[in-house]
Amino acid sequence: MEETLQAAHQIAAHAGASHAAHSGSHELPNITTLLSQLWPDSLFFHFIHQWENIFFCTLIALLICLTALYAARQKSIIPKGIQNVWEFIVEAIEGFVSSILGSHGRKHLPFLGTLFLYILLMDWSGLVPLMKSPTSSWSTTIALALCVMVYVQYTGIREQSFFSYLKHMAGNPSNAFGLVLIPLMLAINIVIEWVAVPLSLSLRLFANISSEDMLLFKFAELNVMFKGIPFLLQLFANLLAIAFSFVQAFVFMLLSTVYISQVLPHEDHGAHEEKELAHSPTTINH
């Protein structure tokens, strides 16, 4: 048994250990890992391997942009192919976002839709052989979370005016007690909205996707060790990863939408459904 385990570790080491040593995680080898191993003296492959997250992000960004531009150029009344897929995606996301933000939904749709698609494809790219999920890196997710945080605060200032935004950050004081609490509320709100929000968003996505990738790597290891016997388990893990990746991208978009809805002027949240959804993020956050 120990000999088998040693053999498995050796194979795993050949497959992805060098990359694991680089990134500090256990993931399946990707194309940049293999190229840098095949041509260890090539500076180009070494550079790509070093910036593999950026490399895969660029591929995904190109894929999204090219298909979106192609779909946008199509003028067919009866959509088909890529145009149909894009219109389905746009309609679905618009419906969801508008159900929370109401009439403001369409204004924030490009940001939220792009965020969702970008994260979803980055999550799923880890399931494609020789590719990697850039969202399994905290650097990627913290960058996206910072974008969300800046966008939310900018939206708050733009929609409420700067004074109302400051009042909101100070806890909306309405009496002397509220005025006394301004420093405390200001500190709490700054910590929550500027630090906790990006941290929670980025850590949730990063932890989920990196653990999914690690799980897939471990199942691959088991398959090598036991000559494909646990293949069905790996297949099941892949299916789970597809579903969970979608859920993670959706949750990221949902929370971003809710953060935006919280900074919108309150009279815009008239609908009962919107009120309910506006309260739901608190539960999710906790």
Say if CB 132 and CB 54 are below 8 A apart: no
Q: Which of residues 144-203 bind another protein (CB under 8 A)?
A: 144, 146-147
Helix, strand, coil percentages in the chain from 3-state DSSP, rounded to 5: 85, 0, 15
Separation CA 248–CA 203 (nearest Å): 11
Token pair for 276:
């309910």
205 binds another protein (CB under 8 A): no
Supply the minimum distance, in Å, between the C-beta of residue 143 and another protein.
Answer: 3
40 binds another protein (CB under 8 A): no
Separation CA 181–CA 188 (nearest Å): 10
Q: Which of residues 16-35 bind another protein (CB under 8 A)?
A: 24
In this chain, which of 39, 91, 243, 271 binds another protein, going by CB under 8 A?
A: 91
Separation CA 106–CA 111 (nearest Å): 10
From residue 59 to residue 88, the character string flagging contacts with another protein as x (rule: CB under 8 A) and all else as - is --x--xx--xx-xxxxx-x--------xx-
Q: SS3 for 242?
A: helix
Cα distance from N-terminal residue to C-terminal residue, the chain: 44
Give 234 or 248: the residue with its C-beta nearer to another protein.
248
Supply the minimum distance, in Å, between the C-beta of residue 57 and another protein.
Answer: 5
Supply the minimum distance, in Å, between the C-beta of residue 141 and another protein.
Answer: 9
Supply the minimum distance, in Å, between the C-beta of residue 253 and another protein.
Answer: 13
Span near another protein by CB under 8 A; candidates 52-60, 123-131, 152-160, 220-228: 52-60
Q: State the DSSP code for 42.
A: -
In this chain, which of 98, 99, 114, 238 binds another protein, going by CB under 8 A?
A: 114
Give 78 or 176: the residue with its C-beta nearer to another protein.
78
139 binds another protein (CB under 8 A): yes
Alpha-helix runs per DSSP H in 182-270 = 182-190, 197-225, 231-263
Separation CA 179–CA 171 (nearest Å): 9
Q: Which residues contact 246 (CB under 8 A, 6 or more apart)?
A: 120, 123
Span near another protein by CB under 8 A; candidates 41-49, 90-98, 247-255, 264-272: 90-98
Supply the minimum distance, in Å, between the C-beta of residue 210 and another protein.
Answer: 10
Supply the minimum distance, in Å, between the C-beta of residue 86 and another protein.
Answer: 6
